Chain A
């Protein structure tokens, strides 16, 4: 089991408001996240000695190139490649770097741009397996891969579209209070059901809207955060897996199932202690799998769980409280940061939308890189509101 994260905290959650399309470079969006981190913390380019970058659209640039774009001279640098899991994988690395003294303050940022027609180009450069084995079949991209997963899940566990709809509807309710959500209108279950088909059984409201934007946070020692007057959250436990269960015929479980028990043991808390949850919701079925694999319910029973719980901010299982990607939009790799940024806000009493009253313990999980038939990366973290 991993060693504890001693005296390392996550702080200064920032969101660069999303826009549907942008002709700016990703460098702009990532740079704005740094600017907001600076505004929140009072720290400048000279103060931050670690940088972690997650982005799909950097093109010829890398995290190393960005140090020059951003006028930084960090002594620790990381480029996250796990997409929807990158908010947590970035935290894991940054926290250890701070804990071991390789960096004092790490800025973790994720962002992407989205020019008109940009999503099509992104698909072509996503992965060699996607190009060779998915795109020749109608160029549906990830919608096809996730439609196949969703259908298999429904057939195996008896879930129906309404079950996924309840998740989407509750997240939209949450999003209505969150100022940066691109979806501003309420969503009713009948609207979800009547939406146009994209790749059956997926319909419009099962799919995220590609957009431009960025998210970020800082990782530093607890004394540093205290001295800067920044509210923070502790890291109680984390996990991360890649290409787990490689021989499954269809992906009906994530790598989170491998050692969820260890995650809970390491955290010292139980499932019922968690006050607020964020799962990676590029499609509802993926949130279902994470809830199951993390032990919030038995395998195959997420539909029942969602039916029996209120997933809104004021409900008995607050989940994706800023609306998730299904309602905020998916700003590329920033989608992998949306959940962790929101959880830190909730735990520090700084929600931009609805606040979960008294939230002390939060869980965030991520899922990313649908290379071909399966999403390869997953990660989770249990965070706790700061204490002295």
Chain B
């Protein structure tokens, strides 16, 4: 499980951080555990960063993941993961990494 904002009024799951629910406009958003499973919609190997601190870590593979819980998230992908692969996410300080579902 990963923790995301869930509307306690209508159960809509949100990412990135929101201040009101995008579905019902109530402000009843609570951080709750949701499924960490999802599917890769697309991916990229990043070779050039705007920030020098990334220079010696590149390239990195980044994916767009459609979570079963609803939202799209970006995540670092473990090697060789491509589109349409089912993945499970781990969250470290709000940064997601995806590995292939077993």
How many residues of A are in contact with the other chain, CB < 8 A? 33
Minimum CB–CB distance from B45 to chain A (whole Å) comes to 4
Chain A residues closer than 8 Å to B63, beta-carbon distance: 148
Task: Identify the closest chain A residue to B51 (Cβ).
Answer: A139
Question: A144-B62, A152-B42, A373-B72 given as contacts; is B49 within 8 A of A139 (CB)?
Answer: yes
Q: Do the beta carbons of A200 and B45 come within 8 Å of each other? A: yes
How many inter-chain residue pairs (CB < 8 Å) link A and B?
A: 97
CB distance from B37 to the nearest CB of A (A): 15
List 12 additional contacts besides A137-B60, A152-B42, A250-B42; criterion CB under 8 Å. Answer: A137-B74, A138-B57, A138-B60, A138-B62, A139-B51, A147-B46, A148-B43, A148-B44, A197-B48, A198-B47, A199-B47, A373-B74
Q: How far is the CB of A158 from chain B (nearest CB, A)?
A: 14
Q: Are A143 and B48 in contact (CB under 8 A)?
A: yes
- Cβ–Cβ < 8 Å partners of A120 in chain B: 50-51
Interfacial residues, chain A to chain B (CB-CB below 8 A): 119-120, 123, 128-129, 132-134, 136-141, 143-144, 147-149, 151-152, 155, 196-202, 249-250, 372-373
For B61, the closest partner residue in chain A by CB is: A200
A143 CA / B58 CA spacing, docked (Å): 14
B46 touches A250 (CB 8 A): no
Q: Which residues of A contact B44 (CB under 8 A)?
A: 140, 144, 147-148, 151, 199-202
B contacts with A, residue count (CB < 8 A): 31
Q: How far is the CB of B33 from chain A (nearest CB, A)?
A: 19
> Quick check: is B2 within 8 A (CB to CB) of the other chain?
no
Query: B85 an interface residue at 8 Å Cβ cutoff?
Result: no
Given A128-B16, A144-B46, verify A136-B94 contact (CB < 8 Å).
Answer: yes
B69, CB-defined interface residue at 8 Å? no
CB distance from A242 to the nearest CB of B (A): 14
Residues of B bordering A, CB below 8 Å:
15-17, 41-51, 54, 57-60, 62-64, 66, 72-76, 83, 94-95
Say whether B94 contacts A197, CB under 8 Å.
no
- In the assembled complex, the CB of B24 is this many whole angstroms from the nearest CB of chain A, namely 15
- Measured CB to CB, the nearest residue on chain A to B58 is A138
Contacts of B41 in A (CB 8 A): 148, 152, 249-250
Instruction: Verify B45–A199 contact, CB threshold 8 A.
Output: yes
- Nearest 5 interchain pairs by C-beta: A147-B44, A139-B51, A152-B42, A133-B16, A148-B42
Complex Cα–Cα for A144 and B49 (A): 10
Q: Which residues of A contact B42 (CB under 8 A)?
A: 148-149, 151-152, 155, 250
- Interfacial chain B residues near A129, Cβ < 8 Å: 16
| Cα(A197)–Cα(B42), bound, Å | 17
Chain A residues within 8 Å of B50, by CB: 119-120, 123, 139-141
Across-interface contacts of A140 in B (CB, < 8 A): 44, 46, 48-50, 62
CB pair A151 B49 closer than 8 Å: no
Complex CA distance for A120 and B55, rounded to whole angstroms: 14
* Contact in complex: B54, A138 (CB < 8 Å): yes
21 A-B residue pairs with CB within 8 Å: A128-B16, A132-B94, A133-B15, A136-B95, A137-B62, A137-B75, A137-B76, A138-B54, A138-B57, A140-B49, A143-B46, A144-B62, A148-B42, A148-B43, A148-B64, A151-B42, A151-B44, A197-B47, A199-B47, A249-B72, A372-B16
Say yes or no: A138-B17 contact (C-beta < 8 A), given A151-B83, A250-B41, A373-B74: no
- Chain B residues with CB under 8 A of A132: 16-17, 94
Which residue of B43, B66, B76 has the most chain A CB atoms within 10 A of its CB atom? B43
Which B residue's beta carbon lies closest to that of A132?
Answer: B16
- Contact partner of B45 (CB less than 8 A), chosen from A128, A155, A197, is A197
Chain A residue nearest to B65 (CB atoms) is A249
- How far is B72's CA from A129's CA once the two chains are assembled, in angstroms? 12
Interface centre among B58, B66, B72, B94 (most CB of A within 10 A): B72
Q: How far apart are the CA atoms of A120 and B72 in the complex, in Å?
A: 25
